Structure 1
Amino acid sequence: MPAATVSKKRKNVKETGVSSSKRRVVAEENNGADVMADIVQLEEQIAESRKHYNNIAKLISMLNVDNGASDPNLAVAVSLCRVFSRLIAGGDLTETNGAAENEKLIAAWLKERCREYQKALSAILREGDASAQLTALTLCMRLVNERATHMPHEDTQVWLSGIFKNIIEAVVQAPEAEALRTEFLEKFAKQYEDVQYYTFLQIAEIAESTTAPKTLDTLITILSAIDSAPSQDHEYKTFYVKNSKKNKKLTSINSHKKRAQDAWLSVLRNPSITQSQRKTLLRIMVHNIEPWFSRPELLMDFLTDSYNVGGATSLLALSGLFYLIQEKNLDYPQFYRKLYSLLDASLLHSKHRSRFFRLMNTFLASTHLPSSLIASFIKRLARLALSAPPTAIVAIVPFIYNLLRNHPTCTFMLHREVRDAEFKALLDAEGMNDPYDWDEPDPTRTNAIESSLWEIQSLQHHYHPNVAAIARIISEQFTKLFYNLEDFLDYTYQGMVQAELGTEPKPMKRIPVIEYHIPKRIFTDRMLEEDGGVDTAPGSLVRGLWDFA
C-alpha cells in the first residue's frame, strides 16, 4: 500500500507538470480574483436597489481593521468610498423634515455606517503602512469633498469636527507618517486655500491641548512648510470644495492671516516647548512667522523671554526683537545693554557668529547713538580679539573700522594728544592703567571713550600674517569709506589654510619669534655633565610650565 501511494503522487506531479508551491500561488490568485468579484458584485447590488444596503455592512466587515489596521483590505476601502460618494451625492444620507419615518431610519442607518467607515479610514491613517496611509488619505479627502459639496448644512461640521479633524490628528500624531505628512502638504494644504485655512484652525486646537514635544515638532514642521503669507492684492481662487468660494471668510486675506496667527501663537505659548524648538522658531521668525501676523506685537512676550535666556537663544532672538523695535515701536530700553552683555568669548567661537555680526552691524548703524555706547562696543570687541580665533579677528577689525568712520568722536581712542607736560612725563615714565571697566554691565558707563585701542596695536604682531596685515589698517590713514563686512564674515580655518597652501610660499622677511631667549636646554636647570656641568640661568619656558617631579 505505501508503495502504491507514493507512485500515485509521483504520477500526478508528472502528469500535471506543476509543483505544489506553484499550485498554491495559482490558488491564491484565483481566491483573490474571487474576492474582487465578490466586492464588485456587492457594490453593484447596492447601486441597483436599496434592498441591498445590508451589503454595506458586509463590505465594512471585510475591511479587516477590527484587530488593528496594519493589513487593511484597500480594495474594499476604495469600493466603499465609491458607494458612499454616490449615496451622499444622491441625498440618501440627508434626513428631511417631511420624509416618512422609514426614510429617516434608513438615512440614520446609512449615517451610522458612514461613521464606521470613516473610523476605519482613520485607523488606517494611524496604523497602516505608507502605501495604505496614502490611499486612506485620498479616500478621506474625497469624502470631505462630497460631504461639503452635497451636504452644505454640514459644511462647517465636516471641516471642524468631522472627518477632516480626524485627518489632521492622524497626520500630526501618527508615529511613522513622514510620507503621509508630505503627501498632505504637497497635494492638499499647499494647493488648496480652503484646506490651508481649516488646517490652521485644527493645528491651533491641537497645540493648545498637547504637551508632547514630538507633537509640537510636527506642528512646527507643518506650519513652516505651508507657503508664505499672501500679499494684500492676493485673490483666493483655488479651492478643494467648490462651495468654499461662497464663504467670505475663506476669500478674506485678513481672515487667513488671523487663523495662521492663532495657530502660531498656540505653538509659541505652549508651556512644554523645548529649548531646541525655541531656537527653531527663532530661526524662522522673520521669514515664516512674522509675515502672518497682522499684530506683530503679540510676539513681544516670546521674543523678550527668548532674548533674556542668554547664549545662542538670545542671538537668534535679536532680529525679531529689533524688527518690533524698529517697525512697531516696541519699548525695550535694555536692548543695547543686553546686546552688550552678549559679547563674550564664547560668541566668537559660536556657529552663529556671522549672523550676530550682521545683526549688530544693523543695530549700531545709526549715527544718533551716543559715542560712549559705541566706544564700549568697540573696546569690548578689541579686548575679545586678543583671545579670539583668527577667523573672528579678520571680521572684528573691519567692523571696528566702520564704527570709527561712522562715529568720528570715537577716534580719540586711536590718538589723543596730552598737552600737560607733567602728565605726559609721568605717562612716559610709569604708564597708566586702562580706564575701561570690563565688568560694568551698562555700556554707557564703562569709560571706554577714555581708553585706547592698544589691543589692535598688539594684534599687529599676531602670529597669523593675514591677521597682522588686517590689524594694520587701524594705524593707517582712514582713506577708505567703509569695508564690506560680508567679505570677512565667512572666513574659516580651512579657507585660510588653503589660501596659504594654494599659492607658492612667500619668503619670510623675518623669522617668527617663539621665545625671547634661546635656551641651551629644555628640561633641566643644570647642563649635562658632558657639557661641562656648569651652572647656568634657570630653565626655559617649557620647564616652567611643566612639573617633571
Structure 2
Amino acid sequence: MKMKNSEKKQILLEIKEKTSNCLNSRKHANDLIEVISKLQDDEESVVLASIRSVHKLFSHYLEVGEMLMEQDSSEDLSNEDKYKQWLRDRYKDAAQSLVEMLLHSNTSVQELALSVLMKLIVKESNFPVSSKDCTDPFPHNLFKNMWALLLSDEVNNTGLLQRFEEYYVYDDIRYHTMKLILSLCDHKSKQKITETWLGNVFAVLEKLTIPSVQKDEPLKKYLCAKSGQSQKIASVVEQRRLYSCSWVEFLKFKLTPTLYRKVLVIIHEKVMPNIASPLVLSDFLIESYNIGGAISLLALSGLFELIQKHNLHYPDFYEKLYAMFEPNIFHVKYKARFFYLADLFLSSTHLPSYLVAAFAKRLARISLVAPPAGLLVSVPFIFNLIIRHPNCKSLIHKPDMEMDFDDDPYDHSEQDPAKCKAMESCLWELQTLQHHYHPDVIKLAKKIYEGDIPDSVLDLSDKFELSANDVFEKECTKKLKTTATTFEAPKGLLGCKDDKLSLCWTL
C-alpha cells in the first residue's frame, strides 16, 4: 500500500529528530533501534533517509570512540562497557542491513548503501572499535561481507560494480579487493559456480590496473590513512603478484563462450601490462589458440606478444595461423582485427619464402568466394606479402603454367604450409578476379599482372574495417555519365500512332 505524503513527511521528521536525540544524549540511545529499523521500510525516501542517518550516527560514534573497548570479553563488564558493547551490536545490525541493500531493487538505494559502507570502512579504519585492531585497523569482516553480496551468485551486479570503480585508484582498497577475490576464487574452485558469479568477478578484474612505478618505489595513494603502515600494501611487487594470481585463478574456471571472448579481447592490452610475469598466461592462450574459430582469432595478439617479447617457444604458431585462413574469415565479427594482426605477424622479412608464398596462395584461393568488401582487403594484402618478400614474385611470373584448377600443384587441403607446394604454383586466382563484377576489384587484380605493384608497402588501415554497407554506399555516391540508348524519342509502347496502351501508361 502506497504511503501518503503527509505520513511520509511525518516519518522523515521522526527519523531526523531521533537522529538528533541520539547524537545529543545517551538517554535517547534506544531511538537508534528505531532509526535502524527504518532501513527495512518499503518507501524509498524513508530508506534513503535512514541510510543517511545511520551514516551520520555511527560516523560520530567512531570518531569520538563511543564504541572503543579495551577488552572484548563479555565477562565482568562495567556499565560503560556494556553500553559500548550494545552500541557495537547495533553497529553490526546496521552494517548488515546496509550490505543486504546492495541487492535492493532500487538503484539509488544500492548506490547510497555502497557509498555509506565505504565511508564506514574508512572511518572504522581510522578509528578502530577495539584496541587490538590497532595493528591492522582495516575492517576485514565488513569488507568481506560487502563483497560477498557484490559478487552474487544470482544477481548481475555489473552496474553497481562499475560504481565501485572509483575506489580502485586507491592502493589500499585495490590491494584488499584483489586479496579477497583471490581468496573467493580459491574457495569457489571446490564449489559449483554460476555464470552470474563469473560475470561479476570479471567486471571487477577488467577494471583493475596496477600503477606504473619502479619496484622499489612505495605506493602512496591511500583511502584509509593508516594503510601506509603496511609494507605489503605499499609494495607494487606484491600488488602485481596478487593481480597475477587473481587472473590465473579466475582463468581456471570454465568460462562461458561470451565471457571467454570478453577475456581474450582485453587480455593483450589491459591484463598483460599489469601482470608480474605474462608467461603465466601461456597455457590459457595456447589452449584458446587451439580451439579454432573466433576464440583462436582473439587469442592471436596475446600469444604473439608472448612469442615476440617474452620468448615463448611455440613452433606451431604460423601453422595454426595458416589454418585460420578460411572463407568464413570474411564474414566474422572480428575480421578487421584478424587481418590487422595477420599483416603484423607476416611483416617480418626474416620469414622463409615458402611460408609467405603459402599464405599468399591460400588467401588468393579463398578470395575466389569472398565478397567485394573482403577482396578490397585480401588483394592489397597479397600485394604487401610480395613487396616484403621479392622472392615470391615468382608466383606471378610463370607465363608457361597452365591456369587450370585441376592441374594446380598447390594442395589447399594440406594444413602444413611447408608441404602445400605453394612455390610450385602461381596466383592464377588473381587473374580470375580480373573478370569480377566489381570495378575496384578488377583494377586491383589487373595491377598485379601488369607489373604495377607499388615499391612500398600499402597502408591497409582504412581497408580493415570495410563492410558491405561501405562498398554499397560508395557505389551509390558515384556520379555516372548518362548515355542515350536511342536517337529518336519513343511515341508509344508499340511505336504506332493509335497505340491504345498509351492510355494506361505514361512514358
Match of 2:118 among 124, 127, 141: 141
Match of 2:213 among 221, 225, 232: 232
Shift of 1:82: 3.1
Q: What SS is found at the alignment partner of 1:175?
A: coil
Alpha-carbon spacing, 1:35–1:254, altered in 2? closer, same or farther (3 Å): closer
Match of 1:474 among 448, 459, 472: 448
TM-score (norm 2): 0.83
CA offset digits 1:42-91 (Å, max 9, x no partner): 44223xxxx654444454345436xx998864434433333333333333
**Structure 2: how far apart are the matches of 1:367 and 1:302?**
29
| Counterpart position of 2:283 | 301
| Counterpart position of 2:500 | none
Alpha-carbon spacing, 1:344–1:291, altered in 2? closer, same or farther (3 Å): same
Contact 2:383 2:448 in 1 (8 A): yes
Contact 2:15 2:50 in 1 (8 A): no
**Structure 2: how far apart are the matches of 1:328 and 1:155?**
44
**Structure 2: how far apart are the matches of 1:183 and 1:471?**
53
Shift of 1:159: 4.9
Shift of 1:299: 0.5
Shift of 1:104: 4.7
CA offset digits 1:238-287 (Å, max 9, x no partner): 3211111232222222222222222222221113x101111111111111
User: What amino acid is aligned across from residue 274 of structure 1 in structure 2?
Assistant: T
Alpha-carbon spacing, 1:98–1:473, altered in 2? closer, same or farther (3 Å): closer
Alpha-carbon spacing, 1:164–1:392, altered in 2? closer, same or farther (3 Å): same
Contact 1:69 1:124 in 2 (8 A): no
| Counterpart position of 2:173 | 195
**Structure 1: how far apart are the matches of 2:233 and 2:10?**
51
**Structure 2: how far apart are the matches of 1:69 and 1:176?**
24
**Structure 2: how far apart are the matches of 1:62 and 1:330?**
60
Shift of 1:150: 1.8
| Counterpart position of 1:205 | 183
Match of 2:149 among 162, 167, 170: 170
| Counterpart position of 2:389 | 407
Alpha-carbon spacing, 1:328–1:438, altered in 2? closer, same or farther (3 Å): same
| Counterpart position of 1:440 | 414
Q: What SS is found at the alignment partner of 1:460?
A: helix
Alpha-carbon spacing, 1:287–1:431, altered in 2? closer, same or farther (3 Å): closer
Q: What SS is found at the alignment partner of 1:60?
A: helix
Match of 1:108 among 60, 85, 92: 85
User: What amino acid is aligned across from residue 284 of structure 2 in structure 1?
Assistant: F
**Structure 1: how far apart are the matches of 2:172 and 2:274?**
16
CA offset digits 1:133-180 (Å, max 9, x no partner): 222222212221121112284378775741112222333328375553
The sequence identity of aligned pairs, in percent, is: 31
**Structure 2: how far apart are the matches of 1:236 and 1:336?**
42
Q: Highest CA radius of gyration, 1 or 2?
A: 1
TM-score (norm 1): 0.77
CA offset digits 1:181-235 (Å, max 9, x no partner): 333223x234x22222222222333344171112211222232234x44222586
User: What amino acid is aligned across from residue 117 of structure 1 in structure 2?
Assistant: A
| Counterpart position of 1:356 | 338
User: What amino acid is aligned across from residue 77 of structure 2 in structure 1?
Assistant: E
**Structure 2: how far apart are the matches of 1:72 and 1:167?**
22
**Structure 2: how far apart are the matches of 1:437 and 1:37?**
86
**Structure 2: how far apart are the matches of 1:78 and 1:170?**
21
| Counterpart position of 2:231 | 248
Contact 1:64 1:71 in 2 (8 A): no
**Structure 2: how far apart are the matches of 1:416 and 1:452?**
7
Contact 2:16 2:53 in 1 (8 A): no
Output aligned runs, 1:26-37, within 5 Å: 26=6, 29-30=9-10, 32-37=12-17
**Structure 1: how far apart are the matches of 2:7 and 2:395?**
94
Match of 1:45 among 12, 16, 25: 25
Q: What SS is found at the alignment partner of 2:435?
A: coil
Match of 1:180 among 154, 160, 173: 160
User: What amino acid is aligned across from residue 141 of structure 1 in structure 2?
Assistant: M
Match of 1:492 among 458, 463, 467: 467
| Counterpart position of 2:107 | 130
Output aligned runs, 1:18-33, within 5 Å: 26=6, 29-30=9-10, 32-33=12-13
Match of 1:378 among 356, 360, 372: 360
Shift of 1:380: 0.5
User: What amino acid is aligned across from residue 116 of structure 1 in structure 2?
Assistant: D
| Counterpart position of 1:421 | none
Alpha-carbon spacing, 1:462–1:30, altered in 2? closer, same or farther (3 Å): closer
Alpha-carbon spacing, 1:416–1:34, altered in 2? closer, same or farther (3 Å): closer
Contact 2:98 2:113 in 1 (8 A): yes
| Counterpart position of 1:60 | 36
Contact 1:45 1:52 in 2 (8 A): yes
User: What amino acid is aligned across from residue 60 of structure 1 in structure 2?
Assistant: I
Shift of 1:323: 0.3
Q: Which runs of no fewer than 5 residues in structure 2 stay unpaired?
A: 484-507
**Structure 1: how far apart are the matches of 2:12 and 2:454?**
86
CA offset digits 1:108-142 (Å, max 9, x no partner): 33332221221111122223522222222222122
**Structure 2: how far apart are the matches of 1:300 and 1:506?**
58
| Counterpart position of 1:450 | 424
**Structure 2: how far apart are the matches of 1:139 and 1:31?**
21
Alpha-carbon spacing, 1:141–1:431, altered in 2? closer, same or farther (3 Å): closer
User: How many equivalent residue pairs?
Assistant: 468
CA offset digits 1:81-107 (Å, max 9, x no partner): 333333333334333259973255444
| Counterpart position of 1:260 | 243
Q: CA RMSD in A?
A: 3.1
Shift of 1:412: 1.6
| Counterpart position of 2:491 | none
Output aligned runs, 1:325-404, within 5 Å: 325-404=307-386
